[in-house]
Amino acid sequence: MTNYSWDVIIFQIIFPSMGVTLLMVLCATVLACFLGFCLAIALFWVGKHGLSPNEKCYSMLNIVVSFIRSFPFIILAISILPITRFITGSVIGWESALFPLTVAATPFMGRIFENCFKEVSLDLIDAARSFGATNLQIVFKILIPATLPSIVNGGVLSVIQILSLTTIAGTLGAGGIGASALIYGYQSFNDKIMYTLVIVLFVLVLAIQLLGDYVYKRIK
């Protein structure tokens, strides 16, 4: 076991790995949030009580979402390695981890946002239609504003989920906190680094939750 000084642990292990992890979380969150939001609108649009119900389309989308969500992330990431290599040109590095992270997080976000949309009263949607509102107007002027606090809460859960997934991606060559915990902590039998990184993860999760709570209170 290598006895690293705190200077080395903080400035050469923790800070660089935190930077990589935060980059993965930020980029994957933006991609998965956009795609998940589009997916949620599609699910709500063709759902049973949606804007334009279509049972077949909803069933197909629902099966795809449930299928992807049923995979443990590590198995999903390994199974789509050829696609990841084709898209990014590599399977190593945080950039290459964005594809499996986005694939895993998009259905999760989509389902959360869909459930948020289902909270909107059907009477409110019917009232908007009676005034001549189009489906797109209902989505952007009624559906989203009415569910924004719930969307924020769901988004916070999704970001924390993505942070958790980045630690797994790190063990597959993406770098970040997960890789550092594995290489410098677990495999080197260095409990000091291992548990320091656990504390760092706890602080990141706490910071995300507190920020989400603040935004929720501001828009509630």
126-159: pLDDT as tens digits: 888 888 888 899 999 989 999 999 999 999 999 9
Q: What predicted TM-score, i.e. pTM, was given to this entire model?
A: 0.91
Measure the CA–CA gap between 189 and 174, rounded to whole angstroms.
21
48-64 pLDDT, tens digit per residue, is 888 889 999 999 999 99
87-127 pLDDT, tens digit per residue, is 988 888 899 999 999 999 999 999 999 999 988 888 888 88
Range 184-199 average pLDDT: 90
Q: How far is CA 107 from the centre of its chain?
A: 9
pLDDT at 2: 67
65-75 pLDDT, tens digit per residue, is 999 998 899 99
Residue 187 burial by Cβ neighbours in a 10 Å radius (0-12, 13-18, 19+): exposed
CB 136 within 8 A of CB 126: no
What are the structural domains of the chain?
Answer: 6-219 (1.10.3720.10)
